[in-house]
Amino acid sequence: MLIMSVAILNGILTSIALETFILSKQMSMKLAFKTAIGMSLVSMVSMELAMNLTDVALTGGAILTWSVVPFMLIAGFITPLPYNYWRLKALGKSCH
């Protein structure tokens, strides 16, 4: 449980920092940070949760193996897509 909590926290902090940096090229730092917070908290928690649940479902516990990693990555990538797409559309921004 501790390892999963640390992984989620690290993922959220890294994502917020990276997104803030990228978005600061297009908007003010304050707005970039607020946007990153809005997107990262929901998408990163959902991504980490999906990845951890996939791990538990396929291995029977929190046992990270190389054979499970591709499935975890796919689950982690697909899970936050609808929310991120909606956020980008709600803000009038497009990813294309």
Asked if residue 77 belongs to a domain, the reply is yes
Residue 29 lies in a domain: yes
41-82, pLDDT tens digit by residue?
888 889 888 998 898 899 987 787 899 999 999 999 999 888
Domain total in the chain: 1
Q: Quick one: 40 exposed, middle or buried, by C-beta within 10 A (0-12, 13-18, 19+)?
A: buried
The predicted structure's pLDDT at residue 77: 94
Residue 69, in any domain of the structure? yes
Q: Is residue 95 part of a domain?
A: no
Domain that holds residue 21: 2-90
Residue 96 counted as domain residue: no
pLDDT band for position 96 (cuts 50, 70, 90)? very low
The residue among 22, 16, 21 whose CA lies nearest residue 40 is 16
In this predicted model, which residue has the larger pLDDT, 94 or 4?
4
Query: Which pTM value belongs to this model?
Result: 0.67
